[in-house]
Amino acid sequence: MARCFVTRSLPGPALDRLRTAHDVEIWGERLPPAYEELSARAANAEGLLTLLTDRVDAALIEHCPHLRAISNYAVGYDNIDIDAASARSIAVGNTPDVLTEATADLTFALLLAAARQLPEAIASVHAGDWLTWEPARYLGAAVQGATLGIVGLGRIGRAVARRALGFEMTVLYAGGGGPGLGEAARDGGAGTVSEVSLSELLERSDFVSLHCPLTPATHHLIDAAALERMRPNAILVNSARGPIVDPEALRSALVAGQIAGAALDVTEPEPLPADDPLLSAPGVIVVPHIGSATRQAREQMAELAVANLLAGLDGTPMPHQVHAVA
């Protein structure tokens, strides 16, 4: 029986399955353990089940001499030093696929909310400012037939593209690709999908949606120069990783009217402080990283995270292992 540390309580029954096989300690607070606390709790652990908010760097891995498996409750794993884990032959797993549709739904919800100025309209009702039907108030942008640019056509990007095709949007993409769009993935007009350069995507799109992983190459990919390429009516949607967007450049672009709006499920930093200047920029919507927040998706993520950890501790390949282990 191995000792495991789980950095947060998870929805669903999956952790009960882990408890029946191993000695499990679960961090029960709403906030994640501080780095020093995580290091102390993990020091004697053989298995870790972590979240994106947990920094598992080379120093922490070195501090855990018994560690054999790390399961990350997320698709991304940029919070884990994969090289350091590989050097110790520690298996690392993630939870892809099960949150694809939920995140794509949230992405499109953000796009529609920003396009139709829903936060402003809702706020007006609560403020008692709904006086009558007004023909020129809260005029938003049309989504049907518009052009959507997807940066990173992976699992979630393709799912967003499928939704966009239902709105007869012209879908442009840069980065990634592959199967999943069937006959719709061909060059043409509205309701079709075309691969273009990032520069062309930014220049042509009415909406730009980010779905690329966070890497050194994509850190602040959307910077001042990228935002200058976008159309003044364009809306930026980010449900990938906060640091893909330079927040200072985004705020400046919104204030200057270089773009029409931004809808963000992820930010830099995260969480965003209540007094962060980005929140006061015009046309911005921020929600607290809820892309996968459906009961079904979160419970399925827990099941897969536990399956990864059980396999890693048994010395067998994880169902979703992110790297080879010697």
CA distance 77 to 192: 32
Q: Which residues contact 10 (CB under 8 A, 6 or more apart)?
A: 49, 73, 298, 301, 302, 305
Q: Which residue has the tokens 């042509």?
A: 204
**Is residue 270 among the annotated active site residues?**
yes
Which amino acid does the sequence have at 178?
G
> With contact defined as beta carbons under 8 Å apart, do 324 and 94 qualify?
no
Catalytic residue, candidates 211, 251, 289, 298 = 289
**Is residue 298 among the annotated active site residues?**
no
Catalytic residue, candidates 8, 68, 241, 251 = 241
**Is residue 289 among the annotated active site residues?**
yes
Strands of the sheet with 147-153, listed across from one edge: 193-195, 170-176, 147-153, 207-210, 235-238, 261-264, 284-286
Q: How far is CA 188 from the centre of its chain?
A: 29
Q: How far from each other are the two terminal CA atoms of the chain, in whole angstroms?
A: 23
Comparing C-alpha atoms, which of 145, 234, 156 is closest to residue 192?
Answer: 145
Catalytic residue, candidates 195, 200, 270, 299 = 270
Query: Nearest 5°: CA angle at 308, between 305 and 309?
Result: 90
Q: Give the catalytic positions in this structure.
A: 241, 270, 289
